[in-house]
Amino acid sequence: MIRSFSINEFYFLLSAVQWTLALSAIAFLGGAIAGLLIALGRTSPIKPVRLAATGYIQVFQGTPLLMQLFLVFFGATVLGIDMNPWAAAALGLTLNASAFLGEIWRGCIQSVPRGQWEAASALGLRYPGLMRYVILPQAVKVALPPTVGYLVQLIKGTSLAAIIGFTELTRAGQIVNNATFQPFLVFSIVAALYFVLCWPLSLLAARLEARYAAPGR
Amino acid sequence: MTLNDDRTEAPVPRSMSDEIIIRMEGVQKWFGDFQALKDVNLEVRKGERIVVCGPSGSGKSTLIRCINQLEQHQQGRIVVNGIELGAGARHLDAVRREVGMVFQSFNLFPHLTVLQNCMLAPLKVRGMAKDEAKAIAMKYLQRVRIPEQADKFPGQLSGGQQQRVAIARALCMNPKIMLFDEPTSALDPEMVKEVLDTMISLAQDGMTMLCVTHEMGFAKSVADRVIFMDRGEIVEQNTPEEFFSNPRSERTKLFLSQILSH
């Protein structure tokens, strides 16, 4: 039975936005925590730690996000873990985000001038204090615009979770389309909803960049 | 050197003791294939004021940066305040607590106020209480004559003021030795004097100082000893009187003619 696209279908799409947002938020928070560890690992004075962090980043940047989601989803089944699409999507996106945020933040940490590291070391600060009180507060300012920019990528990336069966915005679009057979209309609305989520963030990233690119840095 | 330069009029009294506070023996340092220090031997007595000069790339900065291990030497021994360097992280921490450093480019922490810059190490390295750290920070900001700037950020200060804050920040750790790495080279000419005056007053209090500088007026009035380096070696060392009036090596003569000719 073919239904026509009505306000109810629109509400269904709209309510799926919350799952896109929830998945984005979890992947971003998880990715931020793990990404900080990866960034610290990449800039560590200890070589094996640096190599391990580099390897991690290369694996996740060098393979498609969709393959990573597949591997987490089907890999869990192979290992005998019953993982639902929701958990698999959250874990896969978190791993992916941690690699990308780790690499972005590595650059920000290394952009803090060498003299700052030297002055802090000469004052007797050891690595944890040096990072916490001197380097990271300065790196955060540099990191803010590209991090918000990456969040936009992440929100759009959550659409791939539709393929492993997690009902977020894109999957909701597929479901509605299967019932209405109005793909152009349905996916136009889906795209518009993504745009409404992402556009303000893109504007914010641009504003932050203008603000922190001010002279004096 | 001009006659009206008041820095030369009152030589700073000598206050050295016989105690050796820094000892370098056969120190060698390479950056890749480039040898930055060649068999450097140096003894510094407590309270001694040493000026290190020489052409750029001669190893003078590397020499003082080895003393607090911002650079690691590869051969030889360095003993600072009775602690041998290169024998583990705990020794390094102990040395850095006793050695203050002032850099050419100030290296103040731009995200912290002047006061916070001065309080950071006493709080986080010495583990002082906040009130105590603040009192010490204000004491040394008074000492470098900018207590009124305490709540400003480094970017709001002139270069000379920033360098004086950097000196105060190092002094807040109550170091036994102060290292100066071309402290006036990045300053506009009118600000050089305020920084040198601060350094002179420090010298008058008996601080052990090693200064890499081309301020020969400062060397004449303050230094107990001038060390001339070239190509990673200590070529010549002498009292400032002898060093300037009677240089022995040809390299020293050439260097002095280049920096004093105008």
Assess whether pLDDT exceeds 60 at residue B7: no
pLDDT tens for each residue of B14-27: 667 889 999 999 99
pLDDT tens for each residue of A187-200: 999 999 999 999 99
Query: For chain B, which residues lie within 8 Å of any Cβ of chain A, measuring from their own Cβ?
Result: 68, 70, 89, 93, 96-97, 99-101, 103, 105, 107-111, 120-121, 124-125, 155, 166, 169-170, 173
Assess whether pLDDT exceeds 50 at residue A68: yes
Domain residue ranges in chain A: 7-211
Q: Are strands B75-80 and B83-84 parallel, antiparallel or unpaired?
A: antiparallel
Give the per-residue pLDDT at B14. Answer: 66
- In the block, which residue shows the tokens 């518009």? A192
pLDDT tens for each residue of B214-259: 999 999 999 999 999 999 999 999 999 999 999 999 999 999 998 8
Q: What is the pTM of this model?
A: 0.87
Give the per-residue pLDDT at B6. Answer: 45
Single-letter code of the amino acid located at A80: G
Counted across chains A and B, CB pairs separated by less than 8 A come out at 57
Q: Which of A121, A129, A138 sits opposite B70 (nearest CB)?
A: A121
Contact check, Cβ <8 Å, A125/B124: yes
User: Per-residue confidence at B161, pLDDT binned at 50, 70, 90?
Assistant: very high
Structure tokens at A201: 């963030």
Q: Are strands B177-181 and B99-102 parallel, antiparallel or unpaired?
A: parallel
Query: Span A158-162, mean pLDDT?
Result: 94
Single-letter code of the amino acid located at B40: V
Structure tokens at B100: 């203050």
Interface test with A, best of B107, B163, B172 (most A CBs within 10 A): B107
Mean pLDDT taken over chain A:
93
Q: Is A115 on the interface with B (CB under 8 A)?
A: yes
Q: Which of B96, B107, B173 sits opposite A116 (nearest CB)?
A: B107
Assigned superfamily of A7-211: MetI-like (1.10.3720.10)
Assess whether pLDDT exceeds 60 at residue A112: yes
Contact check, Cβ <8 Å, B111/A124: no
Assess whether pLDDT exceeds 90 at residue B12: no
